[in-house]
Amino acid sequence: MSVAHGVLVHGPCYIGDKVFVGFNAIVYNAIVGKGSFISYNAVVTNGVRIPPNTFIPPGANIDSQEKANALSRVPEDSREFTREVQRVNQEFPASYHLLFVENLCSCGISYD
């Protein structure tokens, strides 16, 4: 799961693997299936179940199961965006290690 800045995730809820939650989105009392994409400023609430690989558009208010069932699949450009965000996020730990080590060579390599 990748969560952008300003997101509020509040239980009870479940968010599946490989889900992207965009800026300022809210997920409260919901189940979000694997591979879904929640766009910026969207709200998902009221006990809805979002099927896997579902796209929630920007600013959408998904507060009923009928609205959740009417959503489309994640478009390929959003799926690619999610993969790229997850790739970059996986690189952060190695970079953080370089920033916070005590022994750092002038070339930027840490040593013991």
> Virtual CA dihedral for 84, 11, 49, 15, nearest 10 degrees?
20
Note down the domain range covering 34: 2-74
Higher model confidence: residue 112 or residue 23?
23
Query: How far are the Cα atoms of 3, 22, 33, 38, 41 from residue 6, in angstroms, in the given order?
Result: 9, 9, 21, 13, 9
In a domain, 102, yes or no: no
What CATH number is associated with residue 56?
A: 2.160.10.10
In a domain, 9, yes or no: yes
In a domain, 15, yes or no: yes
* pLDDT tens-digit readout, 46-82: 999 999 999 999 999 999 999 999 999 999 999 999 8
In a domain, 86, yes or no: no
pLDDT value for 32: 98
Distance CA 89, CA 21 (A): 14
